[in-house]
Amino acid sequence: MNSMQSFEPQASGNQTKLVWDRFLRFFHWTLVLGFATAFISGEVHASTIHALVGYMLCVLLVARVYWGFKGGEYARFRSFIFPVGEVLTYMRAMLKGNPGHYLGHNPAGALMVFTLLGVLVAIFVSGLLTQGTIDFEGPLVFLANRVSDDASYAFRHLHEFLTHAVLVLVGLHLLGVLVGSIQHKENLVRAMLTGKKLVPSQSATNRKTNEE
């Protein structure tokens, strides 16, 4: 049974709490570097590097999905699945400059995480389909003679479109990080480096938990 708990931290505002574990930080920064490498290598047609990095990112994403069910409190997907009403309430409060504070992902951040993960899955699948049906390589090469040429090139166009669409999402993500850092008076980039966030003494910290 799902329940939402709100509580006032008893600690002072200078106390920190480990929120982002080592794997999450590794995943985040490796994804940043890996995607940048894959994007650039794709633009300059360095196909070997592009494919190798793509495989690495696929493995990384699978590991993140696993960690979303077996990881720590703030890594698990269930900790940042929010009702639509709460997401809308948070975003309205954010526009007014006074959103509630969440130790883990806030509703807007959670929405971006799920969107990015979903788009990345589509990018990797379309990339593997392109590799298999046009380049005749990779784990999906058995599909080469089973799909039409139109479908093969549709996979490639989708892959290219989604890759560029991610750049827009990344821009929105960075904007959200900047706004969140200002509104909550905390350095979210540093938090993703150290894993630690300040526990506020005045604003309520919200989190979502599951109880069996």
Per-residue confidence (pLDDT) for residue 50, from 0 to 100: 96
> Along the 212 residues of the chain, how does pLDDT read in single tens digits?
333 333 333 334 468 899 999 999 999 999 999 999 999 999 999 999 999 999 999 999 999 999 999 999 999 999 999 999 999 999 999 999 899 989 999 999 999 999 999 999 999 999 999 999 999 999 999 999 899 999 999 999 999 999 999 999 999 999 999 999 999 888 999 999 999 998 866 434 444 333 33
For 208, residues 6+ apart whose C-beta sits below 8 A from its C-beta are: 2, 4, 5, 78, 79, 80, 81, 82
Closest CA to 191 of 104, 117, 112: 104
β 101-102/205-210 pair status: parallel
Q: Which long-range contacts (CB under 8 A, 24 or more apart) does 39-45 make?
A: 39/163, 39/167, 42/163
How many angstroms separate the Cα of 9 from the Cα of each of 22, 33, 34, 102? 24, 35, 37, 11
The runs of H, that is alpha helices, within the chain are: 22-43, 47-70, 84-96, 107-133, 149-184, 188-194
Q: Which domains are delineated in the chain?
A: 2-210 (1.20.950.20)
